[in-house]
Chain A
């Protein structure tokens, strides 16, 4: 019976690893799914690249659309693979098995996040390969350390936001589903995934900057495109804001999970299917 801090930490790691394993195996085990999940979703990004090319837009617009397209991968995974996952688990009657187990709920979510991140990486690598080898999109020389720092800060902010969304599904069913839907297209628009964010104007850009996706897109563009992509604010500020969002969201998710778990147990909705 593991009751020490080390025992608790080991339980967390084991549970997170096991949950991540499902995601990773799920992505690579079915060749059809691989094509559908990793290749076809990049066609939307390709369409934007070709549109900018057809319009004779400056070359950096193509790179801008590629970066946006790659981040779209992760945002979709956060919404439907993280946020909505507990909805599926609940429908299948599996959620109760997680909640009757001694592992931390945060371990399950961390496993879902890590697995989703790794699984989405394949799709984003296909996107990068299409951009570099097919469309010959040009990037500026960049520091891999800056890229890694900004990328992982963005991922941390996005996936901790996904954890908060997941907690909503403990109590709500279809209502939270609509929330996920509501986050989808508006976030695509406000984050300027396929166009320069400054096009939104000063007020729009300030409002958009409240979304971690916007800051991540903007920071990655600044790192990869240099002066060709003037940012909303300096990269280091955006990096700091993303780290801040990640920490804030983590604690909100933890509180939200505990609060909504208790509320759903009180109302009897934790194990209620088909709501």
Chain B
């Protein structure tokens, strides 16, 4: 599983930093998902350090962390460079949205006044075909249907996330959204279930997703 990220326009990032009158920046780059997406990793750390210096910022340090989103890893990695953290007016993360929030959590007691920014936009949980080709295949709806839909997710492969597709926007197996270039998710499901000899599952009338638990702050806490 990879959280897919893309780069924000540079100017947007500099604007955020300038808006907070930042001079000294600590760069924290993700060595896992963002590295794969080429929005982080050691290359990203180097690239952003150079860009920041070019614009007159002082880079207090630039580190690559294995799991920016894991509070435990982040705590350990930031403790090692605490002197640099102290010298920083802000932290710029090259990670997904989890990165920013993980750092804020970890520093909430020791450095609560240091703002944390992101250089990326978080896109989705993605499947990787190869570098540069990532596809949303799961939205984490918490009610996985894959056992009934031949292993193809209607929530992500159908543009309308329909529970009972296809809709009238399907033409020759393609979807009306995106100029009929993408496959209709429900035709993929039909073909797969047909192959498995289980079209009875396709014929089933499915209730809408239950949003009572997934429509607000979500957490998995079991210990």
Say whether A and B bind each other. Answer: no
